[in-house]
Chain A
């Protein structure tokens, strides 16, 4: 479903990604962990071209993102993204946040889009919040709306960029629960997170990234139970 080959990214002289490879199968949940500044978020953002890789190739569902001739707006419809800071549209209600792109991008009628949005709000447990504005919702609720907004485009892949890092501790659980449901329903997911419990429980595969390279890769059991690389061990020691 996702193939990334030798992805490099530099900001000026700063080399953030130094050749990352990733293959994600359909319905697979890949969790990316690593210290801050390791390039894990930058890599995730390359996967829908919010950052343009300096070199390398990224193919999602058979379409090459890094090919200049491909229609990036078309590809992005298949790649949902959830941000650390939610990025809900503050001038629109929860329902309007979800229906905007299906109506304007996919050309759905308002009624079709509303039906989808209500269904998704139900799934994330917020059916009673459809007319609330983002600043009337808690962080956890906002993030759940943001997940519903991404799902409304019926993406084939979902990218999560530290989705619980901006949340108060008591709200982390509700967002992770939604993500677990999504994984169980067979969504292909790439998740950058510091939630090791989630990585262990939901991840099919864990990537440890440091200094712009994949240092170690394996099942959660391998990475958390028996890490091979010294850097992986010292990182896990610090956060667990």
Chain B
């Protein structure tokens, strides 16, 4: 039962990393989906002043590696401001911005998948475009984007491991620290992997499945 002892010894440190990983994920997903909703709407706008920045934003954060974005925001911002920025919050910012770009595409696809007749029916009743979006289109679109949004959240959870490069001790980094002193590489990395798997299963079970069930009203066919 040497393995259990190794795991037991590792647990306190891993728990600290786990907590940080969860914090980063929750915040990134929260801000990312808000950014994504508005940028997604922005990409569909007919006003160039809204549409063009939205397109550029998505292309930038989807088109460059997250690792580069992390360096850019943390070191770049520190250099421009002349003092070092907070590691945690610059990580939250960069993860949110990155997630926002993916969420924007997910929301745009969801909104555009709603039949044209829904918008026409709402407008023909005298609703403004905004009212039609809010009361008719978006509630239907939200239901359709839950599965792809769930995938994005799972991807984000795993991507939080990248912020270890600027010295944040999240779950992966905490494992690395333990391995570097104990050399129990296999046992520790295996446990770290299990931690991630448990978290992703929790997301898909409690978030995606439950939300899908809850939003199934009116969609029984």
Q: B118 contacts A105, CB within 8 Å? A: no
With contacts A100-B135, A135-B221 taken as known, whether A150 is within 8 angstroms of B117 at the C-beta atoms is: no
Q: A104 contacts B135, CB within 8 Å? A: yes
Chain A's closest residue to B127 (CB) is A105
Q: Does A83 contact B (CB under 8 A)?
A: yes
Interface 1/0s, chain B 196-221, versus A by CB < 8 A?
00000000000000000000011111
Total number of B residues with any Cβ neighbor in A under 8 Å:
23
Q: Does A186 contact B (CB under 8 A)?
A: no
Query: What's the Cα separation between A27 and B126 when bound, in Å?
Result: 22
Task: Count A/B pairs, Cβ under 8 Å.
Answer: 77
Q: Does A139 contact B (CB under 8 A)?
A: no
Within 8 A of B (CB), among A83-134: 83, 85, 87-93, 100-101, 104-106, 133-134
Q: A133 contacts B128, CB within 8 Å? A: no
Q: A91 contacts B218, CB within 8 Å? A: yes
Query: What's the Cα separation between A48 and B120 when bound, in Å?
Result: 10
Within 8 A of A (CB), among B142-190: 143
Query: What's the Cα separation between A91 and B142 when bound, in Å?
Result: 11
Min Cβ gap B124→A in Å is 4
For B62, the chain A residues whose CB sits under 8 A away are none
Q: Does A25 contact B (CB under 8 A)?
A: no
Interface 1/0s, chain B 95-122, versus A by CB < 8 A?
0000000000000000000010110111
Query: What's the Cα separation between A106 and B125 when bound, in Å?
Result: 10
For B87, the chain A residues whose CB sits under 8 A away are none
Min Cβ gap A98→B in Å is 10
Chain A's closest residue to B125 (CB) is A101
For A89, the chain B residues whose CB sits under 8 A away are 118, 121-122, 136, 140
With contacts A90-B218, A91-B140, A91-B143 taken as known, whether A149 is within 8 angstroms of B125 at the C-beta atoms is: yes
Q: A135 contacts B220, CB within 8 Å? A: yes
Min Cβ gap B118→A in Å is 6
- Chain-B contact segment, one of A5-13, A57-65, A72-80, A189-197: A72-80
Q: Does B131 contact A (CB under 8 A)?
A: yes
Q: B124 contacts A76, CB within 8 Å? A: yes
Q: B127 contacts A104, CB within 8 Å? A: yes
Q: A134 contacts B126, CB within 8 Å? A: no
Q: Does B123 contact A (CB under 8 A)?
A: yes
Q: B128 contacts A73, CB within 8 Å? A: yes
For A105, the chain B residues whose CB sits under 8 A away are 125-127, 131
A153 is contacted by which of B123, B125, B128, B220 (Cβ under 8 Å)?
B125
Q: A135 contacts B126, CB within 8 Å? A: no
Q: A93-B218, A104-B127, A134-B218 are in contact. List 4 more A-B contacts (CB 8 A).
A: A48-B124, A81-B124, A89-B140, A91-B218
